[in-house]
Structure 1
Amino acid sequence: MATIKQRGDSYKITVSCGYDLNGKQIRRHLTWTPEPGMTKRQLQKELDRQAVLFEEKCRNGQVLDGNMKFAEFAEKWFTDYAEKQLRPTTVAGYRQLIGRINAALGHMRMDRLQPHHIVSFYNNLAETGVREDCKQHCIVNIKELLRSRSLVQTKFAKQAGVSVATLNSINRGNNISAESAERIAAALALPVKELFAPAVAGKTLSGNTVLHYHKLLSTILTTAVRWQVITSNPCERVAPPKSDRKEAVYLDEEQAADLLAALDKESMQHQVIVKLLLFTGMRRGELCGLEWKDVDFERAVITVRRSSLYLPGKGIFEAETKNATSERCMKVSADVVTMLKAWRAEQSKQRLRMGDQWQTSDRLFTAWNGAPIRPDVITAWFHKFVTKNGLPPIHIHSLRHTNATLLIAAGTNLTTVAARLGHANSTTTSKIYAHAIKSADQAAAEVLQDILHPVKKQA
């Protein structure tokens, strides 16, 4: 309900809009001045109308001003913009970042947020002890501690909310997550520091991670300027944090051959997954989203039309490709076509064996029952595969990097490589694969040397 107070010749209309993070009431204000010559009855009728209209706008979130706290505006940015315009996985990633930003800046009014506040936030992120994902190492004999308290391991694990495997892992001297360490300490009614210590002391957030916070904060504040909540974005007056430049992790020709040889011992589905990623350079989500109608066997062309993604609480879902250029057609070799034909025949046999248990879908790669496969399941399997076979420490995305690197090294022009990878432009490709371009440039220089100044044969 709006409240109205007269201030001289004008009226101040105030509406309550709930509470902020600190439990303080959020109020919105409007000053209304009546037209000259209005009768008392006309004035009261119009004043009531203005109060109702203003209250309705506040309820619908149509009233924004610099008095808003950052956390309040950020939540509105998520609901009104991010969740409607951005990919669900992007929003989920931003949701993980916003907690730290709100803890540092959420209580501040939008119009009072200054560059020095943002600099202090970045400096804090770069300090040790900020990371929340550091592993913890047990500094006591947990098995003896439980025995001294007459606690059975299985019952204690249930009480603490951890698995028995976690307790067994501690007994073997392995590190565990900070969250598990906190649960165990809480169940024993002891401070975490008496039971656990950080596995890697002094570990800080990477420069790239700090840069992610900067980009999110700047994006939110840019929207605030566009929505006329503030006049300028304070992030524009702050030097962005330095990122850690890392080269793409990839395999050379010999290492790629070793990987393919090691695949012979794996299931047919895993063989096809790895080879297709290696031969096409597709993203993991694009591979999981492939359907048989996307494969043109006659023309030897695969069309990338969608991504298959996974989020906890939402499950597996289908999304558009990463950008407009990510939807593309790729020519593949005769070997790839033969491999896919054999896999389609094998999948048909699996479908017949499963009978009614098979969940019908057109996906190339599925779970045991025909349901779409989770992308993270492929990642987990690939990590075990690499470790088991003593291959270089690569991840599933390294197959994409390997594809691009080998193409560039073989002399494929950058525009073609960018198109096959689904990059928006070749500039992106040149930045990621500068190492391969440099090597190819050196090879080109040597070729030119051989052409213009051939080595003279001795008589």
Structure 2
Amino acid sequence: MSYVEQRGKNSFRLNVIIGYDEKGRPISERKPVKAKNKTEAKKMLAAFEAEVNSGNYLKPTEITLKQFYPKWIEYVEGNQTPATRASYIGIVDKRILPKYGHMKLSSIKAMHIFNFVNDLKKDGRRLDGKKGKLSKSTIRNCYKAFHSILQCAVDLEVIKSNPADGVKSPKLGKGKTDVYSKDEIKLMLEKLERMPLKWKLMIIFAFTVGAREGEIAALEWKHIDTKNNTVSIEQSLTDEFGLNLKDTTKTERDRKVKMPDALSALFDAYHKQKTNDKNIVSYDLGDSEEHLFIFSDLNGKPIRPDSISQWWRRFTVKNKLRHIRFHDLRHTSATFLINENVQSKIISSRLGHSNIQTTMNIYGHFLEEADEGAVEHFDNFLNKKHKEK
């Protein structure tokens, strides 16, 4: 005998009775599942019952990391870019399973993750035979791969919590700040004229507003006010462990930023284009809300932040532009305003920095250069006055 229990919205529990105890009470194997409706859950029940009756069913508490591995591969398909998925699979195959594959998922603790990350920092951990230590980005990706497979186990209710959450993600360190000059900005804008409106809008938005990848991906039409030339930046999208929407930005500081007329016109044109294509579709990221993302696919699903950087690299290479990181367009925005003698407080506000000291720390050397240029105006003025005498 088998039956389905509804536990919540799209949440069910499958029950298969395998016998009775001495008091006549049923002994059941149970499995929590996610399904669109009860009909779909009943189909899952039939498969679950067949698995239990065949003797191949393994209770969640007994599942090892290696046994769970195929389920994780199936789970992340479509939730990660092909490149990310391939990278994570390679890491799990070569670094994680050899050490932890035999362990039960329920036995893996935060200390195991901590030891795993610390061991990667030692000499001799490269797999290519070269001397030297692993890069910070490689170590961070190894952590993310381990986090991903454990988070999948949480999502499928095999374990209650992710032990990797108890270990901080390894930091990459500060990347080199590089910016475009005015001439390079002009060249970039010329090349963008030949690009689809979506990408032209996105890149110009990044330059003029100084927005981050995650903030751009999370933009919804409700955040744009082309009549008053403003955009509200109040949420961010991350794809580190699947698409997740944060109600606040990286610095947890919402901001309303003025846009140039030309940018507002691009937003209006893009809205018209998407309306004509019937491509303004709502999307639920799993937070029970409907979102109208600006940069979305035909199903309304938002663009992944890492896809923006990938497109930017291809664009710069194809058009023979000097390549800087996509994030450096944000720095380019700030230095452009500095060189136009815009007040530091205004720049800080546009970028969403928690305080002006953050702006000074990042752009201090650019501000010093602009200050030297300002002094020249005084020198010219005073020298002129001296000659008049």
Give the TM-score normalised by structure 2: 0.55
**2: CA distance, partners of 1:282 / 1:398:** 10
- The yes-or-no answer on 1:294 pairing with 2:223 is yes
2:276 to 349, 353, 359: 349
Deviation string for 1:332-381 (max 9, x for gaps)?
Answer: 11111111111110111222xx69xx556421111243322211111211
* AA partner of residue 340 (structure 1): F
Structure 1 contact 286–321 (Cα < 8 Å) conserved: no
Per-residue displacement from partner, 1:414-443 (whole Å, max 9, x unpaired)?
111111101111111111112311211211
Higher gyration radius (CA): 1
Q: Given that residues 323 and 424 in structure 1 are in contact (C-alpha distance below 8 angstroms), is that contact kept between their aligned partners in structure 2?
A: no
Q: Distance in 2 between matches of 1:302 and 1:274?
A: 15
Q: Which amino acid aligns with 1:302?
A: V
Alignment map for 1:4-83 (pairs within 5 Å)? none
Equivalent residue number for residue 441 of structure 1: 371
Identity %: 26
Does the CA-based 8 Å contact 2:123-2:133 persist in structure 1?
yes
User: 1:397: which partner in 2?
Assistant: 327
* Contact preservation (8 Å) 1:302, 1:329: yes
Distance 1:438 1:130, change over 3 A: farther
- Could you say what secondary structure the match of 2:277 adopts? helix
Distance in 1 between residues matched to 2:173 and 2:229, nearest whole Å:
40
Could you say which residue in structure 1 is the equivalent of 2:158?
Answer: none
Partner in structure 2 of residue 330 of structure 1:
257
Q: Within 5 Å, which residues of 2 pair with 1:79-158?
A: 128-130=123-125
- SS of alignment partner, residue 273 of structure 2: helix
Q: Which residue of 2 aligns with 1:408?
A: 338
TM-superposed CA distance for 1:455, in Å, is 8.3
Q: CA deviation at 1:456?
A: 7.7
Residue 311 (str. 1) matches residue 306 (str. 2)? no
SS in 2 for 1:433: helix
User: Residue 428 and residue 205 in structure 1: after superposition, are their counterparts in 2 closer, same or farther (change >3 A)?
Assistant: farther
Q: Distance in 2 between matches of 1:435 and 1:263?
A: 30
1:254 alignment partner AA: D
Is the 1:208–1:244 contact (alpha carbons within 8 Å) kept by the matching residues of 2? no
- Paired residues of 1:272 and 1:339 also in contact (CA < 8 A): yes
Name the CA distance, whole Å, in 2 between partners of 1:441 and 1:125. Answer: 45
Offset of residue 324 of structure 1: 6.1
Maintained 8 Å contact 2:206/2:329: yes
Does the Cα contact within 8 Å between 1:387 and 1:393 map onto a contact in 2? yes
In structure 1, give the amino acid aligned to 2:193: D
CA distance in 2, matches of 1:339, 1:302: 13
What displacement does 1:302 show? 0.7
Q: Is the partner of 1:286 in helix, strand or coil?
A: helix
Whole-Å Cα distance in 1 between the matches of residues 354 and 326 of structure 2? Answer: 22
1:285 to 203, 209, 214: 214
Deviation at 1:457, TM superposition (A): 7.8
Q: Does 1:363 align with 2:293?
A: yes
Residues 184-219 of structure 1, C-alpha deviation per residue, up to 9 Å, x if partnerless? xxxxxxxxxxxxx44xx43435689999xxxxxxxx
Which structure 1 segments of 5+ residues have no match? 1-95, 104-109, 111-117, 132-177, 179-196, 212-242
1:425 pairs with one of 346, 355, 368: 355
Q: 1:322 Cα shift?
A: 3.1
